[in-house]
Structure 1
Amino acid sequence: DIQYRIRCASFAFGRLNHHVFDNHNIRTRTKLLVYKAVVIPTLLYGCEAWVTYRNHLKSLECHHQCYLQKILDIKWVDRRTNASVLIDANTTSIEAMIIQHQLQWTGHCVLMPDVHLPKQLLYSQLSQGQRTRGGQRKRFKDTLKANIKKCGIDIINWEKLARDRATWRLTPLSSLHVRA
């Protein structure tokens, strides 16, 4: 699914490349706004439910950096760090965006009535089944727990915090760090 999203975003970027991103008559700020309005949502569509591994984040971040460097007209010989490119583009890393989307969706699920399917899936447990041999695949709950820890949110009382919508909206955004 993630590779498909990368292909879709590359296609969207390519379609806009000649008319927007390569056009010298359009300001860089406008190009970045178009990028954030078209390419980023295409790239991150459905990311609320993704179980992201390190290689997925690395691939997404690589494409994000390539697009930003193209828009900002940064060549590889300029030897710029990823963090400086993010600062120049006034944006955050893909990992930070994904964490933000996942925490917003989880907060939304916590506020749902118990009869709604997303909330039932979030809190469900398998009653039967066996573990497969070898290393276990990550679950969404594992990703969610790691993201909550990255944001400095108390892992025990996060649901209570999520029930206060105003506080929950501010908490993930204020404590996310830009990592490239």
Structure 2
Amino acid sequence: MKAVLTNQCISIQTRQRALQCYIEPILMYGCEAWTISKQTQKNLEATEMWFMRRMLRTPWVAKKSNEKVLKEAHTKRSLMNKIRKRQATFFGHVMREGKMEHIVTTGMMEGKRSRGRQREKMLDGLTKWLNAGRVTQALTATMDRDVWKDMVANATKQGT
């Protein structure tokens, strides 16, 4: 895809659509089950900017800020927002299903917790993104499909 994405004869909008159609699905494969830490988020955003710079043929050593590159491409960052939306949609589906995945996803497992700092759960990241306040508020919102869709739509409009 390098020949298509870096071809200057093709408009930037067409190259961006090719990126969205062919590259992003591969990059986001299985993202519904990811727990995104700050480092993972930085890596994903850096990857997104790397693709933009490659499409515009902006060298890495050029002193252009990410904002200038995005302005030149007539776009804004959207990868993290897409990932979070897919996670929220999947999470709502799992919570309404109410089977084994529900127990695993919410972390309501029996037994002792390991020593040290506990890993962040996917639910914690989604709660922050949705501005739900408490985890219980997010869990109760998933049971009503329309309320959950509205929460996800509002969070998507606001961005990451």
Q: Aligned partners of 1:109, 1:85: CA distance in 2, in Å?
A: 38
Structure 2 gap ranges (5+) = none
Instruction: Tell me if 1:47 matches 2:27.
Output: no
Q: Any conservation in 2 of the 1:107–1:168 contact (CA below 8 Å)?
A: no
Q: Aligned partners of 1:131, 1:172: CA distance in 2, in Å?
A: 33
- Deviations 1:32-89, CA, capped at 9 Å, x for gaps: 1000111111111111111122222222221211111111232345533223434535
Q: Any conservation in 1 of the 2:127–2:138 contact (CA below 8 Å)?
A: no
**What are the equivalent positions in structure 2 for 1:143-154 lying under 5 Å apart?**
143-148=125-130, 152-154=131-133
Runs of 4+ in structure 1 displaced over 4 angstroms?
none
- Deviations 1:3-49, CA, capped at 9 Å, x for gaps: xxxxxxxxxxxxx102x123233221111100011111111111111
Q: Any conservation in 2 of the 1:21–1:31 contact (CA below 8 Å)?
A: yes
- Deviations 1:90-146, CA, capped at 9 Å, x for gaps: 24243333222222222222332x2x33333223512112422x3332222332333
- Of the structure 1 ranges 76-85 and 29-38, higher mean CA displacement relative to structure 2 is found in 76-85
Q: Give the structure-2-normalised TM-score.
A: 0.78
Number of equivalenced pairs: 155
* 1:103 matched residue in structure 2: 88
Sequence identity, in percent? 20
